[in-house]
């Protein structure tokens, strides 16, 4: 399955321009109209919510609860961004998010680098079953896993610690990284390893001096994916972290949503800020995007 199989390294497929299609000389007017209308609807559906997110975050507080809301702002303000950055709690959540996501990413990459290499370059008894285990561990329902992770962590006194968050994030980042990195190692020619062997290098040396440097771009890509997945997690962080260890997604809920009222513009401003690192990571990852997304097909 060439399109779905891990297309390693420089797979730039969908962001590159497509080869020019044949001229459609006889396309009927009706179909062209239908196409334009459906495209317009999809464009509206795709972008209007993002537009509304932006507009709300820039709307002065006294106008947010005007109804019907003004679709085009007559007055913009940055007060809500100031509110978000002026909130000391938010910086605590931000720090937790960075710590937990970075450590999760590093742990996942280190562990899955070895596992992915073994799956790619070694043949051993039980290899296929083990690979299916890794694959299917992404299919286990998070909500169910959450309940027992809570019990296990409670038993070992790990609730409300960074470790609890890192370990619980690893349940979904590790399988993803293993599959991505196996794809990268598959793309490295065996001849390299053979050559190093003939030069007398042992397996340990071959991996760390020959394979590792070549796989570095793949490791970075996998790490970024893991970072983003950890950064985005809501439910594990909400349940397993206490107030001191809460990351941004549940932290935003605590800060801006309450039974009595919700500060929508501030929440939208904070939401945009949370999305920034993800977008930056995406821009850095563009080169690996298809390989990554399709590897993520194991768990999107």
Residue 82 or 257: the one with the smaller Cβ distance to another protein is 257
The distance of closest approach from Cβ of residue 67 to another protein in the complex, given in angstroms and rounded to an integer, is: 5
SS (H, E, C) 133-173: HHHHCCCCCHHHHHHHHHHHHHHCCCCCCHHHHHHHHHHHH
The distance of closest approach from Cβ of residue 90 to another protein in the complex, given in angstroms and rounded to an integer, is: 15
Residue 82 or 151: the one with the smaller Cβ distance to another protein is 151
**Left, alpha or beta for 160 (phi > 0: left; psi -120 to 50: alpha)?**
left
First to last CA, the chain: 18
The distance of closest approach from Cβ of residue 244 to another protein in the complex, given in angstroms and rounded to an integer, is: 20
Which residues are within 8 A (CB) of 149 and not within 5 positions of it... i.e. 6 or more apart?
A: 164, 167, 168, 171, 236, 240
Residue 58 or 174: the one with the smaller Cβ distance to another protein is 174
Residue 53 or 99: the one with the smaller Cβ distance to another protein is 53
Whole-angstrom distance, CA of residue 114 vs CA of residue 130: 14
The distance of closest approach from Cβ of residue 86 to another protein in the complex, given in angstroms and rounded to an integer, is: 20
Whole-angstrom distance, CA of residue 108 vs CA of residue 30: 52
Residue 75 or 136: the one with the smaller Cβ distance to another protein is 136
The distance of closest approach from Cβ of residue 242 to another protein in the complex, given in angstroms and rounded to an integer, is: 14
């Amino acid at each position: 399955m060439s399109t779905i199989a891990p297309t390693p390294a420089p797979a730039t497929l969908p962001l590159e321009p497509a080869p020019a299609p044949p001229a459609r000389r006889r396309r009927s007017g009706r179909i062209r109209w239908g196409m334009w209308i459906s495209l317009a609807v999809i464009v509206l559906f795709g972008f209007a919510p993002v537009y509304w997110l932006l507009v709300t975050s820039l709307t002065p507080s006294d106008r947010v609860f005007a109804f019907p809301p003004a679709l085009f702002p007559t007055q913009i303000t940055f007060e809500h961004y100031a509110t978000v950055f002026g909130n000391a709690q938010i910086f605590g959540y931000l720090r937790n998010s960075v710590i937990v996501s970075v450590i999760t990413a590093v742990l996942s990459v280190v562990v899955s680098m070895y596992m992915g290499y073994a799956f790619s370059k070694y043949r051993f008894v039980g290899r296929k079953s083990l690979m299916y285990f890794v694959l299917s561990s992404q299919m286990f329902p998070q909500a169910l896993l959450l309940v027992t992770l809570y019990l296990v962590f409670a038993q070992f006194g790990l609730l409300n610690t960074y470790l609890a968050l890192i370990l619980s994030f690893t349940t979904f980042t590790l399988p993803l990284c293993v599959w991505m990195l196996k794809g990268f190692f598959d793309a490295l020619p065996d001849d390299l390893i053979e050559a190093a062997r003939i030069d007398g290098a042992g397996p340990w040396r071959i991996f760390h001096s020959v394979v590792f440097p070549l796989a570095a771009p793949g490791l970075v890509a996998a790490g970024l994916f893991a970072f983003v997945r950890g950064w985005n997690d809501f439910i594990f962080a909400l349940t397993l972290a206490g107030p001191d260890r809460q990351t941004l997604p549940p932290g935003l809920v605590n800060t801006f949503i309450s039974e009595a009222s919700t500060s929508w513009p501030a929440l939208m401003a904070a939401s945009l800020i949370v999305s920034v690192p993800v977008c930056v990571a995406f821009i850095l990852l563009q080169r690996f995007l298809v390989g990554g997304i399709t590897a993520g097909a194991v768990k999107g």
